[in-house]
């Protein structure tokens, strides 16, 4: 029952929102399924991700991971996300203690996996010069063999700007 599969997936939403990749894989293991694959099946998508005339792109699932204690743990999180059926692993762009910078960890995550796409959710355009960012992004895309998904945004956390000494332009 497609509706039942989606309902069961959405009932777990509160648990999934706060979870990191390790917790998501653990949840999938307890349920004995790959949650993303079950949701895809419920939506009628095939495993080969073929795009039919009625859809422009297949529905995909991503996981946001902020950090890890070391390189080994970071790569393990990426592998667990891929094993759980996620399509993309993204890193946010905040100047928060304990959070990775946005681009460098993506190369490591892609290196540790076979098909997992990697990306940013989203890069703050005020933190980097556009020319420098274009150079960094093209290098990451090259080193990840074309698996980079670059998300760009305007920034919204005024305290980050203040702490970094960057002027914050509020929405007009």
- Per-residue pLDDT reduced to its tens digit, 18-46: 344 444 444 444 444 455 565 555 555 55
Least confident interval from 6-10, 96-100, 140-144, 148-152: 6-10
**Half-sphere exposure (Cβ direction) of 69: Cα atoms closer than 13 Å:** 1
Query: In terms of Cα–Cα distance, which of 29, 143, 17 is closest to 83?
Result: 29
pLDDT tens digit sequence for 36-92: 565 555 555 554 545 455 556 677 899 999 999 999 999 999 999 999 999 999 999
What six digits make up the tokens of 99? 């959070």
């Amino acid at each position: 029952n497609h509706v039942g599969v989606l309902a069961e997936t959405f009932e777990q939403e509160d648990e999934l929102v706060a979870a990191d990749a390790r917790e998501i894989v653990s949840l999938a293991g307890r349920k004995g399924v790959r949650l993303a694959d079950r949701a895809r099946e419920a939506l009628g998508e095939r495993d080969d991700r073929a795009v039919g005339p009625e859809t422009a792109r297949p529905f995909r699932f991503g996981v946001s991971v902020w950090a890890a204690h070391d390189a080994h743990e970071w790569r393990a999180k990426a592998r667990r996300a891929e094993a759980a059926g996620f399509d993309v692993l993204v890193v946010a762009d905040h100047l928060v203690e304990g959070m990775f910078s946005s681009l460098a960890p993506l190369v490591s995550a892609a290196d540790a996996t076979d098909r997992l796409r990697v990306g940013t959710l989203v890069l703050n355009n005020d933190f980097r010069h556009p020319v420098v960012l274009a150079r960094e992004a093209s290098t990451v895309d090259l080193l990840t063999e074309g698996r980079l998904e670059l998300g760009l945004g305007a920034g919204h956390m005024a305290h980050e700007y203040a702490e970094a000494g960057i002027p914050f332009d509020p929405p007009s």
